[in-house]
Amino acid sequence: MLQNKNLHFDSKCVHSGISEYEFGPVVPPIYQTSTFKFESAEHGASLFKGEAEGYIYTRMKNPTIEAMENSIAELEGGHKALGCASGMAAISTVFTALLKAGDHVVCSKSVYGPTLTLLQSVLSKFNIESTFVDTEATEQIKQAIKPNTRIVYVESPANPMISITDIDAAAKLAHNNKALLVVDNTFMSPALQQPFKLGADVVLHSMTKFLNGHADVVAGIIITKDEEMYLNMRKTLNQLGGVIDPFNSFLVHRGLKTLSIRMQRHCENAMLIAEYLEKHPKIKWVRYPGLKSHPGYNVGLKQHAGHGGMISFELNGGFKAGETVMNNVKLCQLAVSLGGVETLIQHPASMTHLSMGAEARKSAGITEGLVRLSVGIENANDIISDLEQALSKTS
């Protein structure tokens, strides 16, 4: 394998995780097999005992999956990674591996809807309690931590409020209580933010988004910072069973090669569009970390290398006007998900964040009129023209 240590990030995107394979392919082959033959009964037994190195069964380990995992672990600056069937599979594996009955979690109020409902409605059945706070206000994290808090969980920027948490400060608060900081780095990707450098203990992603980048895969990943945590996660993932499959791993690994240049374009486009929206007379407010009006602007400058591709905004005309825009865009696609090459527009209150309920949405500031834009890599002028013609249809 190429020694990547001294390479720049964009070179690592192209080369990391690639090993030597039979016939010398430049990219990892797709080992589309559920199981692997043993050389002998003794060999099989020694693989199971962990005395021999090798592959047994794809739920446990597979070379195509391993190549993608090694690549992302390297890009995030972590120890090892675990490919999961979805972002939610990664999140539920992390909580299951790290928590026990009687533990407490502090979580951002603004997170992906099903993450909040997983804590609130599923883990609560196992006597795991959660407190949801505005993690943009570090003080609120401090106040919410209790003696039994085991995890502080944040997304930064968060879905869909694009709020910024000071990751370094959150890590210190968690560690003072012997708790762990888990960061969902989906909105930034390691091209823009590397939470381990800021003190995170576990980093995870929905790879469905920027890491894969092409809206054709549902997948997740967990990155650990040491072997002990990795073995705990691997055992839990193997038992829960939410692993990624070889073909999706291959697609994600292919997507990673262009991660750096894609993120650069997402950031450039999003900045132009955020500035356009902020000046538009029909727009009430815009949340984008690159705008000085964003309350987390200074924290963002400290912890991420670019402001990302996600924008939230509300029109003066509220939900009705937002609906008109969503129904009239032509280039922008009206669809949930994010982080792909095509620009997507959606309405969190009736779509991605419906499941969390009106009260939790209100408390997180997710207004009925909020519209979320995942800015793609098209020409920014084309995206702006499309938004302009759709905005002109609103009264």
Q: Choose the stretch contacting ligand LCS; rule: CB under 6 A; options: 135-143, 266-274, 330-338, 354-362.
A: 330-338
* Chain centroid, CA 47 distance in Å: 33
Give the pair of three-digit tokens for residue 376: 């793609």
Would strands 220-224 and 80-84 be described as parallel, antiparallel, or unpaired? antiparallel
Give the pair of three-digit tokens for residue 146: 């209790």
Q: What's the min distance (Å) between Cβ of 208 and ligand LCS?
A: 4
Binding map of ligand LCS across residues 139-158, x = CB under 6 A, - = no contact: ----------------x---
Q: Which one among 110, 206, 248, 312 touches ligand LCS, defined by CB under 6 A?
A: 206
Number of residues that bind ligand LCS (CB under 6 A): 16
Q: What's the min distance (Å) between Cβ of 263 and ligand LCS?
A: 16
Is 218 a binding residue for ligand LCS by CB under 6 A? The answer is yes
Of residues 157 and 199, the one with the C-beta less far from ligand LCS: 157
Give the pair of three-digit tokens for residue 91: 């999140």
297 is catalytic: no
Q: Helices (H) and strands (E) in the chain — how many of each?
A: 14, 12
Catalytic residue, candidates 209, 225, 287, 372 = 209
Q: Is residue 233 within 8 Å of 217, Cβ to Cβ?
A: no
* Chain centroid, CA 77 distance in Å: 16
Binding map of ligand LCS across residues 78-107, x = CB under 6 A, - = no contact: --------xxx-------------------
Of residues 62 and 185, the one with the C-beta less far from ligand LCS: 185
Q: Which residue, chain included where needed, has tokens 């006597």?
A: 127
Q: Which one among 16, 58, 130, 208 touches ligand LCS, defined by CB under 6 A?
A: 208
- The values of phi and psi at residue 293, to 5°, are -75, -10
Catalytic residue, candidates 12, 103, 112, 230 = 112
DSSP state of 347: -
Q: What's the min distance (Å) between Cβ of 186 and ligand LCS?
A: 4
Q: Which residue, chain included where needed, has tokens 């990673």?
A: 256
Rounded to 5, what percent of the chain is helix, strand, coil? 40, 15, 45
Catalytic residue, candidates 184, 201, 245, 386 = 184
Is 220 a binding residue for ligand LCS by CB under 6 A? The answer is yes
- What is the Cα–Cα distance from 54 to 62, expressed in whole angstroms? 9
151, 190, 301, 369 from 290: Cα distances, Å: 29, 18, 9, 22
Catalytic residue, candidates 10, 21, 57, 59 = 59
209 is catalytic: yes
Q: What's the min distance (Å) between Cβ of 394 and ligand LCS?
A: 24
One-letter amino acid identity for 335? Answer: A
Q: What's the min distance (Å) between Cβ of 288 and ligand LCS?
A: 16
Of residues 234 and 353, the one with the C-beta less far from ligand LCS: 353
Of residues 112 and 313, the one with the C-beta less far from ligand LCS: 112
- What is the Cα–Cα distance from 183 to 74, expressed in whole angstroms? 17
Q: What's the min distance (Å) between Cβ of 112 and ligand LCS?
A: 4
Q: Which one among 66, 74, 166, 184 touches ligand LCS, defined by CB under 6 A?
A: 184
Q: Is residue 159 within 8 Å of 188, Cβ to Cβ?
A: no
Is 309 a binding residue for ligand LCS by CB under 6 A? The answer is no
Q: Is residue 247 within 8 Å of 282, Cβ to Cβ?
A: no
Is 112 a binding residue for ligand LCS by CB under 6 A? The answer is yes
Q: Is residue 262 within 8 Å of 377, Cβ to Cβ?
A: yes
Q: Which residues contact residue 93 at a Cβ distance below 8 angstroms, ignoring those fewer than 6 apart?
A: 82, 84, 222, 233, 236, 237, 240, 242
Is 340 a binding residue for ligand LCS by CB under 6 A? The answer is no
Give the pair of three-digit tokens for residue 70: 């090694």
Q: Which residue is nearest to ligand LCS (CB)?
A: 87
Which residues contribute to the site for ligand LCS (CB under 6 A)? 86-88, 112, 155, 159, 184, 186, 206, 208, 218, 220, 336-338, 352
The residues assigned a catalytic role are 59, 112, 184, 209
